[in-house]
Amino acid sequence: MVKKMIFLDEDLRRQKKRDSVKEAIKNFESVFLPLGNINIVLTDFYTKAFYVETHILAEKILEYGTIDVPLDPEEQSEYRANREIVEDHIAFIKMKEDAKEGRTFSNLVAEYNTIFDQEKPLKIIGGQHRFLAIKEAFENNVNHYHNVKVYFDLDTNQRLDVQLISNTNIVVSSDLLDRMFETLKGPELRNWCQAVGLLLDRQDFADKKQRSNQITVRLARSFILSFLEGKKNSKKSYDKINPEPIIARTGGIDEMWEAIRASGEDIWSDKSMLEAGKEFVKLHFKQKEYFEQKRRQNL
């Protein structure tokens, strides 16, 4: 008997997309053997993304799942939207202990995607700590079904949206949100920071402010905004302008930065800005060197 798959989506213009998702779900079922047939395909009517709610055995989640997930696999596959794993957080430690005692988890959020990393088609977008707790429990012979919300055929904007909503049940740093939004816009800011030395080669922005060589998106934006404002006012009398630096907004839309992004102006090849960035790096390292010497003197 051939089962009927019902899409809870009234937009008839999306028939081609539904056909693609239907085929992907059949492939998904053949690999993951979820608990029960998937008959209902749900829609997030905000982004028009298709998803299903199902239960998958731990061994299948671990064999074909990964938390190493890029936000933009087509253009920026080496950079991640995920925050860092907090190994020593008391909630994570308790989560792992519970999993070993047989805890079954809900609300793992994933994308089924066979285009990149075909060996691991289940890309865990939300619930990476739960994924690791399941893994540790499985290594201790605990193998249960867990609830997974699986998205199909996401575009980049939908993927970003899923990343954001999947993290609303935890404290997400504004710096991580900045990094995700900037990644969606493109690699230009990151590439520029790597070129001048604010980031190491192939290094991404920090997901939270820290005392290290890894800067945040906010700091990089602030430097460029201040430089461009200073360049615009360079011929004006110093006593007639405000010399304070511009601090970029964080955790949301920065209108000033978006205006520069949308202007079409090629600021990234500006030689004077490249030189200023390199000089700023020298200043940064000199400051670190000074305070490190002070710290050692006080030991």
In-domain check, residue 58 = yes
For residue 238, give the DSSP letter.
G
Indicate the residue among 171, 192, 214 that finishes a domain. Answer: 171
Q: Is the domain of 59 the same as that of 192? A: no
Mean pLDDT computed over 126-142: 93
**What are 1-32's pLDDT values in tens digits?**
456 788 877 666 678 888 889 999 999 999 99
227 and 165 within one domain: no
Long-range contacts: 256-259, Cβ < 8 Å, 24+? 256/225, 257/221, 257/225
- Are residue 133 and residue 195 in the same domain, yes or no? no
Percentages helix, strand, coil for the chain (3-state, rounded to 5) are: 45, 15, 40
Q: What is the pLDDT of residue 167?
A: 60
The pair of three-digit structure tokens given for residue 113, joined into one six-digit string: 């995607």
Q: Classify residue 146 as exposed, middle or buried by CB count within 10 Å of its CB (0-12, 13-18, 19+).
A: buried
Specify the pairing of strand 49-57 against strand 122-126.
unpaired
Domain of residue 149, residue span: 6-171
Claim to verify: residue 210 and residue 234 sit in the same structural domain:
yes
Nearest to 135 by CA among 60, 221, 186: 60
State how many domains the chain has.
2
pTM score, whole prediction = 0.63
159 & 44 share domain: yes
Kindly state whether residue 248 falls inside one of the protein's structural domains. Answer: yes
Distance between CA atoms of residues 242 and 248, nearest Å = 16
- Mark whether 237 and 142 lie in a shared domain: no
**Mean pLDDT across the chain:** 85
Residue 203 inside a domain? The answer is: yes
Residue 1 lies in a domain: no
Least confident of 154-163, 167-176, 200-209, 268-277: 167-176
Q: CA-CA distances (angstroms) from residue 194 to 96, 197, 218, 244?
A: 37, 5, 15, 26
Whether residue 255 sits in one domain with residue 129: no
DSSP 5: P
* Residue 270: predicted pLDDT: 93
Query: Are 268 and 192 spatial neighbours (Cβ–Cβ below 8 Å)?
Result: yes
Identify the domain boundary among 171, 194, 225.
171
Q: How far apart are CA 21 and CA 234, in angstroms?
A: 56
Statement to judge: residues 148 and 180 lie in one domain: no
Strands 145-152 and 49-57: antiparallel
229 and 192 co-located in one domain: yes
The answer to whether position 17 is within a domain reads yes
DSSP state of 57: E
pLDDT tens profile 63-114:
999 998 876 666 666 655 555 666 666 677 888 999 999 999 988 999 999 9
20 and 167 fall within a common domain: yes
Mean per-residue pLDDT, 175-190:
87
Residue 69 lies in a domain: yes
Q: Is residue 72 part of a domain?
A: yes
Residues 96, 244, single domain; the answer is no
Q: For the chain, give the percent of residues with pLDDT over 70.
A: 84
Helices (H) and strands (E) in the chain, counts: 10, 7
What six digits make up the tokens of 83?
């925050």
> Which one of 143, 171, 199 terminates a domain?
171
pLDDT of residue 94: 85
Same domain? 114 vs 203: no
